Amino acid sequence: MNKKLKITLYILVGLVIFYHVLKFSGILVAYSIPTSSNEPNIKHGSYTLASNLITPKRGDFITYNFNDALLGKATWMHRLCGIENDTIQIIKGTLFVNGKNFDEAYSLKHSYILTEQETKSLPYTNTELFLINKKEGRNTYIAHIEDKLARRCKLKKARLVTPINRIHPEIQNAYQQKWNKDHFGPLIIPEGKVFVLGDNRDNCMDSRFNGLIDRNDVTGVLWTTF
Count of all residues that appear for the chain in the document: 226
Which tens digit of pLDDT belongs to each residue from 83-137? 999 999 999 999 999 999 999 999 999 999 999 888 888 876 557 787 787 776 6
- pLDDT for 42 beyond 60: yes
Backbone region of residue 181 per phi and psi (left: phi > 0; alpha: psi in -120 to 50; beta: other values): alpha
Instruction: Write phi, then psi, for 177 (nearest 5 degrees).
Output: -135, 150
**Looking at this protein, which amino acid is placed at residue 36?**
S
What is the domain partition of the chain in residue ranges?
3-86+189-225, 109-158
Closest by CA position to 148, among listed 159, 139, 161, 132: 159
Does the pLDDT value for residue 207 go beyond 80? yes
More confident residue, 197 or 28: 197
User: Strand, helix or coil at 150?
Assistant: helix
Residue 86 and residue 195 in contact, taking contact as beta carbons nearer than 8 Å: yes
pLDDT number for residue 10: 47
State phi, psi for 173 to the nearest 5 degrees: -65, -35
Q: Would you list the DSSP string of 58-110?
A: TT-EEEEEEEETTTEEEEEEEEEEE-TTPEEEEETTEEEETTEESGGGS--EE
- Contact present, 112 and 141 (Cβ < 8 Å): no
In terms of CATH architecture, what is 3-86+189-225?
Ribbon (2.10)
Distance of CA 39 to the CA centre of its chain: 7
Cα→Cα distances 208→15, 21, 66, 168, 188, Å = 41, 35, 14, 10, 13
Q: Under DSSP, is residue 57 helix (H, G, I), strand (E, B) or coil?
A: coil
pLDDT, one tens digit per residue, over 168-194 is: 999 999 999 999 999 999 999 999 999
